[in-house]
Amino acid sequence: MTASMIRVAVSGAAGRMGLRVCALLSERSDATLAAAIDRAPIASLPTLHRDTPIDAIIDFSSPEGAIAAAELAVERGAALLVCTTGLGPDATASMEQASRHVPVMLAPNTSLGVAVVRRLVAAAATMLGQAFEIEIVEAHHARKKDAPSGTALSLASALSDAGRPVPAERIHALRGGDVVGEHEVWFCGPGETIRIAHQAINRDLFAAGAIRAACWLAGQSAGRYRIEDSLSPAPEARS
């Protein structure tokens, strides 16, 4: 292992996304799997020990698992990337507390493309103004529990930050089949409609994006970050 290699712990390592993150880490030259964390040890994957060095934690578990990951991040001084969706007030408060000590990023979608889309929709909302109505449409596989998706809510947040809050009734969620993830923002104006869309082709997109974001986050100071911050060379943490 080189001196610059990022040592990553994966929380929720036995899940679909956790397993893919672990697999892709084995192919990286800039990051390595330091520990696979789940309810029970996973054969052939490294387990967490008291003296295991960790630079970053990637969480794809549950709201309860995310809280445990936040506590571990503070204990080990590791950056924390939380990709778990459906976080309640307790988990959100735990992330806020952790961000006072370590860099924390909440990223329901780690796709580089979605990070770009967040910026695009915010820019479009600012340029188009109030004359255009906004609708958000998202689709996922039938097994996804939360609706609307965390990504759809993050798009709504980006639009709200740009001065165009989107009412809940204008965020539409579709569930069916094995759709990996599709998100589209409609700007409907007089005589024209603009659509900004993103389609995920496979889930490795999110696993690779999580590793990229975690490696970037490991080099930041304590505070809260968003996925699009990793597109900029030197963002400032949010207080």
- The pairing of strands 6-11 and 56-59 is parallel
The domain covering 6-110+204-231 belongs, at the CATH homologous superfamily level, to NAD(P)-binding Rossmann-like Domain (3.40.50.720)
Structure tokens at 151: 């990504």
What pLDDT does 237 receive?
57
Same fold for the pair 6-110+204-231 and 112-199: no
pLDDT at 47: 87
- Residue ranges covered by each domain of the chain: 6-110+204-231, 112-199
pLDDT, residue 239, reads: 55
State the DSSP code for 129. G
Compute the distance between CA of residue 5 and CA of residue 132 in angstroms, rounded to an integer.
47
> What pLDDT shows up at residue 234?
46
**Percentage of the chain modeled with pLDDT above 90:** 81
Q: Which residue positions in the chain have pLDDT lower than 50?
A: 1, 234-235
> Annotated catalytic sites, by residue?
140, 144
Residue indicated by tokens 């990793």: 230
Q: Per CATH, the architecture of 112-199 is what?
A: 2-Layer Sandwich (3.30)
Identify the pLDDT of residue 232.
66
